[in-house]
Structure 1
């Protein structure tokens, strides 16, 4: 449970920094309200958000000056996001084959990061300096490796020899490339668009830092380093970002001249390290096809991430950008629900039948909540709701049969889900994981509605965070209790709650990027609700009744009460407040 406390500490640090981000955005909103040519009209009731009308003739005033403390705090949160990449290693152990694949993923992430550095350096008009920096970076790492070989046996984190040298080089290179990123962030805050442009770049680098932290953690974990040490060292590699961002913000013009060569230098270091060390090591432990596939998918993911961020830059749409950043926090509710459930279960040793009953009760409320709202509000007939509900149930049952049949054919492969070689996947565990997938589908459908509403929301989506978190708490508790009750592993329970919880933010970000509207989303929501019924009311709950009928029934009522309290609290939060005006369909 010490690992859980580490994760909770990191989570609350990022939460506090996100509040600072919201405050900074409020400053921008207030500055925009006072700008000449901007007229704000309020509705007739306190529930209506203000209507903003822009009168074009009057030229705008200069943007409000950004404070040094704002730059420091936001870039510190940006660097802390790197630690999120090491979270998977708190819940799983790497075997030799997966270590090779992880090295392939790390190689892809580092190559994609080097491509981005080259492109970013060229934007500052220094193509020749970028090329010289690439050559100098490769030569520098070659000299560093020769220098380290002189010392013979070196040690790092209880790892000795060649592995220690490679770890030291990877950590050093990723730390070195953070200097260039920190400089770019600091210069962006000093640009003509001030705080909005700076926050946009900060958010882009923060999202970019997560897979980079995963890459560093993979290299360290594949050599036996603990998850906690991997998290600390991955965060250490991003520490230069806030340290350099503040001087770059103060002396923007001077730092901008050195950015092309610095970014080229960091890119050259990473390219040399990937081709000389990371890729050859991955071939020793995994098949070349697996390594190549992992590296290619990693590059594709990183480039798609960069493309999505560039679309915001071309806008420029401050509302969509802020909503994009806030949507990342929509997964905190399920994650916190999973943590609370695991801590309570571990403290008072709840029986498995009680946990399964709790998850069933929660999902009964979730599957009925939105369809009843649609029927009661006259937005959908009972016949349509019943038909869509049956479609969702039928699709889940068909998918469950296909999946279980496929897994029974692969029963000899014990590494399919559980990393431990002595542990096989039981049918109950498989059905629990499939039930978690049904909850993830429900979260995805709800996330689409949140993504549509967030850019239009009062306060640019920030005020939706509290009701969305309350709305997601029972979902995380349901997933964690189902997994814990079926598998008895708190690590798997937290992993399942985290993965299914962030299906909502992923859907919200997809809705923001694609620009979809709300039409038809209610149909998908009812289908997702229909999938929950066979997932939790079938074999899982019948097994709980056979184990201990009384505990299963008590857990069922506990889940019903907990879910109703959370969702009713969401209604109370939204009552006579601007929290849910733009997204009542998704959060009430």
Structure 2
């Protein structure tokens, strides 16, 4: 797979990788053709798994290379890591306050962001879309880092990140489409809405890769920015959603497994 990727320019690599992650979102959304509901324990485990993957990816694939690159560039290594990380969280905080969205299991009156009359289905899709912006950005920046020649960044590692993000996108697609089906939408319409939440990943991936390639000095900040955005999503969205019930053990186990899987992928392939 690595050899096949090498024939493409970095931005194209990022596009292919994020099209894959979008495709896995669609694959998860396709479960609506087979199920009308999803067991809450299963959903909690999948959300916990997604959180674990994102936490591991934030360090192994983003923060660690940002620190290494800063040292190589003669910058105090903690400055880009801290500044970029906090900026990423601040960016998602602002988006969270502005973009109308609704979390799973909540009434439409509890929608966050700017008040709107949009339908519940749109608000649910936008909630998952919030997750996918930093994920696509992270994959794009990872491929851009490889093109910039960072010793700690490898093409195999960027591919591993895309695989990890893809794995955790599967439950996210299902988490949108199946609840919509339960609310009375047709299977086809539920699937279309579910996969649509992943469309921002190729867009964010291409932007991330292009930005760091043409502006190499910002690369350590961009890597840390993507990490901060993903951690914000984990703490603000995924973990609370996974632990809405009193049975939190399944979500916790899912998180541990997700972290281990992403760590293995990054260390083994990277």
TM-score when scaled to structure 2?
A: 0.69
Is 1:191 aligned with 2:149? yes
Report the equivalent of 1:220. Answer: 176
Is 1:167 aligned with 2:125? yes
Any idea what SS the aligned residue of 2:126 has?
helix
Residues 78 and 220 of structure 1: CA distance in aligned 2, closer, same or farther (over 3 Å): same
Residues 294 and 205 of structure 1: CA distance in aligned 2, closer, same or farther (over 3 Å): same
1:162-203 deviation line (CA, Å, top 9, x unaligned)? xx4343122123213422331232022221569xx6421331
Residue 217 (structure 1) shift: 0.1
Report the equivalent of 1:80. Answer: 19
Measured in 1, the distance between the counterparts of 2:174 and 2:136 equals 18
Measured in 2, the distance between the counterparts of 1:302 and 1:110 equals 8
Whether contact under 8 Å (2:136, 2:205) holds in the other structure is yes
Listed as ranges, the matches of 1:54-93 within 5 Å are 70-82=9-21, 83-87=23-27, 89-90=29-30, 92-93=33-34
Q: Which ranges in structure 2 are unaligned for 5 or more consecutive residues?
A: 68-77, 101-110, 181-188
Residues 145 and 74 of structure 1: CA distance in aligned 2, closer, same or farther (over 3 Å): closer
Is 1:94 aligned with 2:35? yes
Is 1:110 aligned with 2:51? yes
Measured in 2, the distance between the counterparts of 1:136 and 1:193 equals 29
Measured in 2, the distance between the counterparts of 1:117 and 1:192 equals 17
Residue 89 (structure 1) shift: 4.5
Aligned Cα RMSD in Å? 3.5
Measured in 2, the distance between the counterparts of 1:85 and 1:263 equals 21
Report the equivalent of 1:24. Answer: 6
Measured in 2, the distance between the counterparts of 1:267 and 1:232 equals 23
Is 1:234 aligned with 2:234? no
1:136 to 77, 80, 90: 90
Residue 308 (structure 1) shift: 3.4
Whether contact under 8 Å (2:56, 2:262) holds in the other structure is no
User: What is the aligned residue count?
Assistant: 237
1:343-389 deviation line (CA, Å, top 9, x unaligned)? xxxxxxxxxxxxxxxxxxxxxxxxxxxxxxxxxxxxxxxxxxxxxxx
Listed as ranges, the matches of 1:39-438 within 5 Å are 70-82=9-21, 83-87=23-27, 89-90=29-30, 92-98=33-39, 101-119=42-60, 120-125=62-67, 126=78, 127-129=81-83, 132-133=86-87, 136=90, 139-140=93-94, 143-144=97-98, 148=112, 150-155=114-119, 159=121, 164-191=122-149, 198-224=154-180, 226-280=190-244, 283=245, 288-289=246-247, 292-293=249-250, 296-313=253-270
Any idea what SS the aligned residue of 2:179 has?
coil
Measured in 2, the distance between the counterparts of 1:109 and 1:222 equals 17
Report the equivalent of 1:392. Answer: none
Measured in 2, the distance between the counterparts of 1:250 and 1:93 equals 45
Measured in 2, the distance between the counterparts of 1:261 and 1:173 equals 14
Greater relative CO, 1 or 2 (CA 8 Å, sep 6+): 2
TM-score when scaled to structure 1?
A: 0.35
Residues 230 and 103 of structure 1: CA distance in aligned 2, closer, same or farther (over 3 Å): farther
Report the equivalent of 1:532. Answer: none
Q: Which ranges in structure 1 are unaligned for 5 or more consecutive residues?
A: 1-17, 26-68, 314-588
Any idea what SS the aligned residue of 1:206 has?
helix
Measured in 2, the distance between the counterparts of 1:176 and 1:243 equals 11
Q: Which runs of 4+ in 1 moved over 6 A?
A: none
Q: Which has more radius of gyration?
A: 1
Residue 90 (structure 1) shift: 3.0
Measured in 1, the distance between the counterparts of 2:193 and 2:230 equals 24
Measured in 2, the distance between the counterparts of 1:145 and 1:179 equals 18
Greater shift in the superposed pair: 241-250 or 90-99: 90-99
Residues 295 and 210 of structure 1: CA distance in aligned 2, closer, same or farther (over 3 Å): farther
1:44-99 deviation line (CA, Å, top 9, x unaligned)? xxxxxxxxxxxxxxxxxxxxxxxxx5212222221121113432553553344525
Measured in 1, the distance between the counterparts of 2:41 and 2:89 equals 28
Whether contact under 8 Å (1:186, 1:244) holds in the other structure is yes
Residues 179 and 138 of structure 1: CA distance in aligned 2, closer, same or farther (over 3 Å): closer
Residues 145 and 275 of structure 1: CA distance in aligned 2, closer, same or farther (over 3 Å): farther
